[in-house]
Structures are given as C-alpha cells and as structure tokens.
Chains A and B, each alone.
Chain A
C-alpha cells in the first residue's frame, strides 16, 4: 500500500477526532464530577456508542479474526457469551448508578472503599486495576505500531505508529475528560462498524457471496464449524476464555465507571440494548472476516497475520484497505483513551486522595490531569521495551480483574463481607493469576481466570466470616440501594 495513502488517511482521521474532542468542551465546567463523569448526565445513545468503542479494541478485527482462522466457530461462541454477560448490567447497573448518585462516588474503587469502610480497599483495588490495565494498553499501542508499519510497508515505523497512538490517546482524554472521550468514542464506534461491515461485504462478494463462503467452509473446513472441532476450542479452553469476559462489565473499571454516568435508568436501558445490537453486528463481522481469511489464505503460520494478509490481498482495493486500517486504529485508540481516563481517576481519587491528608476535589482533578500523560508514557515505554512480563500481564488482564468480582458482588448482596476479605481475595487471587500465567501452569487443564475466581471467592467468604463486618454501613448500603432502585422499576 502506498505510504502517501496511509499518511493521508491518518491525517484525516486525526483531524476529525481532534476537532470533535475540541467541540465537546462546550458547556464544560472545571470540576472533577464533570471531567470524569460528565456530571452524571449522559444520554443512553452516546453511552452505548462509547461503551462499544471502549469494549471492542483492535482485538476484534485482529485477534478474534485470528481465533476464528485458527479454531473456527468457537470464537463466535466465546464473543457472544461475553455479550450475554451484559445481563450483569441488569442486576448491577442500577446499583452502581444509585450508589454513585446517592453517595457521590467517582470510581468503582472509591465505592468499594466506602462500602467496606477501608481506605486500603480503595487503594489496593485501584492499584490492581493499574497493574493489569496499563500493560493491556501498552499491547494495544504496540498493535497500532505493527498495524501502521505493516500496512505502510515500513514507511511509518513501529515507533512512529505507537507514538502517534500514544499522543492521540493523551489528547483525546485530556482535552475535555469523559466528554471528549465519549464523543470521539461515538464517532469512532461508527467508523468501526461502517468500515468493517463494508469490507466484509466486499470480500464476501469477491469470494462469490456468503453462500459460496459457507459452501467452501462446509466442504473444505467442516471442523471449523463445530466445537471442539479441530481441537483448538476444547471445552476447558472455551470455559477459560469465556469466564473472565462474562464478568467484564463489572470487573473492568473503564466500563463499570460508565454506570455512574447515565442520567437515568431509562437511559441506562437504552445504552444496554443499543450496545447489545451493536456488539452482535460487530462480532458477526469479525467472525466472517476470520472465515474469509481462512478461505482466501489458508496456509498462514501465524493466525494473527490473517487480517493483514486479507487486507493486502487483491480482494481489498487499497483505498478500502486504508479505511479499514483507520477502523482498526479507531478501535484501539477509543479503548486506550477510556482506560487512561479511568486509571487517572483511580490514581487521583483513590491512591492520591487516600494516601496523605484528604485533598480537595479540585486538587484531585489537577493530579488526575497530570497522571493521564504519565500513564500513557508508561504504557508507551512498555510497548517499546516489549517485555515478556508486560505481555503476560496484558493477556491476564481480564483474568486478573476477575478477582475483584467477589468484592463487587459482596458489596451489594452480602452484608457479612469485610475489608480483610476483599484485600486477601484481591491480593492473593491477583498474584495467583500472575503466577499461573508466568509459569504457564494449568492445574487440571483449567485456565488462570478460573483458579483466580475460585481462590478469590473462597478467600473473600472465609476471611470475611472470621473478621468483623461493618454492620451498620452494610445494612444502610445494601438495604437503601435496594429500596431506591425498586422505586425506579429495577430489582
């Protein structure tokens, strides 16, 4: 692909998102509540698009397509089980929302700290989120580096590509906080879906239409249409992949924080249903993309090359190739900037705000704005260094964050939960996941996330039972929130 085409596409994309970010500043107030939560007045439609862009990273058209290429239809099951995990929003969404509204929480860690009456809980859960999500961001940055250098034939170097992504993510998060993140996310969500649907349509036509695509699959790759099929998606692998992602909507702060922002439960419902429709379409497109690559270029040694190979095949005209490249870039940037903003709020509010004397919200906001570029540069540094440990932490991010689930469930549904229970479950569970990922040990053939969740649940329950619960707080928190959300039609 011609470098000038790549640079032109890149310039148009960057100009468009920066312009949208600048426009989103209108009506903005310089206060913490506005910067991180848009004054808890976000609409369902904007939230849904932003949620989609944040959740779906470059993984979809590269990683998921590669999984389909390698293992077949099990990849569809994996991603749709993740989508069905949004049912947790039905139960936890109104609770997060109401707790934020009544008690003024800005971050999920702040909520846990207050509910369990422990500053340590807020600090530890915030640090754990950073530990897993900064490496995850750095792998996304590296992905952009590879994508741009690969598609431009090296005229955009890996370093330049990763640096462009870093600077852009900083800018989109810094310009107007969640406002610029959400509005640019929404724009990028539209780019992602339109470009991916368009290119899959064109490629399928090139292969003789969807009928021919599926005939070829049934004839030449029948094992790719079943599970365990060719053996890649064994039941243990499927379970190990799906379990961490099923809980994604409550375990990952960059999406659970969104539950504080909606203006009403009716808007939350709108967000949920619109996102589900978006997710279903985007998933189907990524899977069809992977199957198309399998039929078009069946002999790749590395399945992660399925997308770049298909994009450079004669089936995709160069201009469309650049447009899809922008779509993948948008998917990566929209995930990174959301993570940056959420992590900065966790560091400012829960780490900085809890370590010394109690600082004012204005001071926390100033710290948060400084933290955004610092975290981004840290992620960029890790991307350049390409350390094994960073790759391990990134892969284990969804499994690692899963260890917070018992504490989150307990906050709303179990009055006996204690701070000691939370701390032991998050610390020991998190370390267990990292240990299993580093040593690549799979006891009983089960993945790290399953063991992490089992260990953290057991520790949370046992340690809570032998320590003293904050009874009065628990009674108020659990009971009041249940009563308030019932008045709004939730349960």
Chain B
C-alpha cells in the first residue's frame, strides 16, 4: 500500500507530466484509487463479527 501511495505522488509528477490528455494523470489517479480500495478490501477480508 505504501508503494501505491508513493506512486500517486511520483508517477503524475514524472512520466505523466507531459501527457495533457484525459488518459494522463487523471486516469492514473482514478486507477490508483480503485487499486487502493481493492487493497483495503483484501487487507480487511478476515475481519469478523
């Protein structure tokens, strides 16, 4: 998860900084958020009543 959060800072400010398209930083951050939600669902899968 730490690497994922780090990527939300690094990728848009490096490789995507010259991609002025809808599929640039905007899409990256949305995919990042979906991945973060997936990881959180996985990390909490064993939580019980």
Binding site for B on A (CB under 8 A): 73-74, 76-77, 80-81, 83-84, 86-87, 90, 94, 214, 217-218, 222-223, 225-229, 235, 238-239, 242, 246, 264-266, 268-269, 272-273, 276-277, 280, 283-284, 488-490
Q: Is the CB of A218 within 8 A of B21?
A: yes
| B44 near A227: Cβ-Cβ < 8 Å | no
Question: Which residues on B sit within 8 Å (CB–CB) of A90?
Answer: 40, 43-44
Report, nearest first, the 10 A-B pairs whose CB atoms are least far apart: A222-B20, A489-B46, A265-B47, A84-B36, A80-B33, A264-B49, A269-B44, A214-B22, A225-B20, A269-B47
Chain A residues near B22 (CB-CB < 8 A) = 214, 217-218, 225
Partner of A489, one of B18, B26, B47: B47
A280 and B48 contact, CB distance less than 8 A:
no
Whether A76 contacts B46 by the Cβ 8 Å rule is no
Complex formed: what's the CA distance from A101 to B9 in Å? 37
B40 touching A86 by the CB < 8 A rule? yes
Q: Which residues of B contact A277 (CB under 8 A)?
A: 37
Bound together, the chains give a CA A280 to CA B22 distance in angstroms of: 17
Q: How far is the CB of B23 from chain A (nearest CB, A)?
A: 9
A239 and B13 alpha carbons, distance in the complex (Å):
11
Instruction: Choose from A83, A214, A226, A239 the contact partner of B9 (Cβ within 8 Å).
Output: A239
Question: A272 contacts B44, CB within 8 Å?
Answer: yes
Q: Which residue of B lies closest to A277 (CB)?
A: B37
Interface residues of B in 1-49 (CB under 8 A from A): 1, 4-5, 8-9, 12-13, 16-22, 24-26, 29-30, 32-34, 36-37, 39-41, 43-44, 46-49
Given contacts A84-B33, A229-B20, 11 further A-B contacts (CB under 8 A): A73-B24, A73-B25, A74-B12, A80-B29, A84-B5, A90-B43, A225-B25, A238-B9, A276-B37, A489-B46, A489-B48
Determine which residue in B26, B32, B49 has the highest number of CB atoms from chain A within 10 A of its CB, and name it.
Answer: B26
Pairwise interchain contact A87-B39, C-beta atoms closer than 8 A: yes
Look across to chain B and name the residue whose beta carbon is closest to the beta carbon of A81.
B8
Judging by beta carbons under 8 Å apart, are B49 and A223 in contact?
Answer: no
CA gap between A90 and B47 in the complex, in Å: 10
For this complex, 13 residue pairs linking A to B, each with C-beta atoms less than 8 Å apart, are: A73-B29, A84-B5, A87-B36, A226-B19, A227-B12, A235-B13, A239-B9, A266-B47, A276-B36, A276-B37, A276-B40, A488-B48, A489-B47
* Contact, CB under 8 Å: A218 / B20: yes
**Contact indicator A76/B13 (Cβ below 8 Å):** no
Contact at B16–A226, with CB atoms within 8 Å?
Answer: yes
Shortest beta-carbon distance from B11 to chain A in Å: 10
Report A-chain residues with C-beta under 8 Å of the C-beta of B20. Answer: 218, 222-223, 225-226, 229
Q: Which residue from chain B places its CB closest to the CB of A276 in the assembled complex?
A: B37
Q: Is the CB–CB distance between A94 and B47 below 8 Å?
A: yes
Asked if A265 contacts B48 (CB within 8 A), the reply is yes
* B47 CB, min distance to chain A CBs, angstroms: 4
Distance between A239 CB and nearest chain B CB, rounded to angstroms: 7
